[in-house]
Amino acid sequence: MIYKILVTGSDGQLGYELKRLLSDNKNFELFFTNHKTLDITDEQAIRDFYNKYKPNFVINAAAYTAVDKAETEKEIALKVNVNGVRNLAKYSIDYNTIMIHISTDYVFDGNKSSPYIETDTPNPLGYYGYTKFMGENEMSKINPRGVIIRTSWLYSNHGNNFVKTIIKKSLDENQKLQVVYDQIGTPTYARDLAMCIYQMIQCFDFNNLEFFHFADEGVASWYDFAHAIIRIKNIDKCIYPIETDQINQLTMRPKYSVMNKSKIKSALNISIPHWYDSLKEMLGLFM
């Protein structure tokens, strides 16, 4: 059987890795779109696409992800992260399309001291997290067959991300490198998440809408993450640990957003690499 798969947000980190991974499978007819070729906030455009191509799967990797800018660009964040999800979910119901939607650890407030499970109550601290939570709610209300996957601290060789920022700053002799040590979570290589989704498409029984958590294994602060980057790259640079209160951020981040991955590991019978090992793999490819 040939599966028709729509991947929105294909210019982003996850979309790029999905394109690289899925394109080798001859049983997939793939549609990779960005905001210019398919605007998920345009209901008519979504209706027309579903009517024309009738996809079996939609992987929604499109999102407004600028955490601080969301505080001043609320309308844009809401349109993409809420209205866009509603449009995809609505027509996924109409065309019996399985929907895989990507969400975030930032739906949580960080007040736990143990890893978050899927049934923990979200309480986002900022507008970005709020819109992602509302997007989850929209999909849950419409209730298409599919999954919502929360992930965290995504990075890859493609696009702009924390890893590339740290490398750039560490090579600037005039740049003092300060990184917060009091925000704890888990870095996630976008390629690992893409592989998880690929395995899910092939083997998971999509009967009901379910929540899953996926991140790489292990725990780190942003300081730990930055230190690992320059250590692996053999860059001679001192990193200064600072508290979140010492930097100018428009919105709060969760202090602790580690997520429990037991459910997805059991459902797919997969093992997940440690974040440090995946970072070494990514940096081995980084030019």
Return the active site residues.
128
> What is the distance, to the nearest Å, from the Cα of residue 130 to the centroid of all Cα atoms in its chain?
15
Q: At what angle do helices 222-232 and 162-170 cross, to 10 degrees?
A: 60
Radius of gyration of the chain (CA): 19
Q: How far is CA 51 from the centre of its chain?
A: 28
What contacts 237, CB < 8 A, 6 or more positions away? Answer: 170, 171, 177, 230
Collapsing DSSP to helix, strand or coil, 162 comes out as helix
Tokens describing residue 58: 């939609």
- Angle between helix 127-142 and 84-94 (nearest 10): 10
DSSP string, 64-128: ---TTGGGT-HHHHHIIIIIHHHHHHHHHHHTT-EEEEEEEGGGS-S--SSPBPTTSPP--SSHH
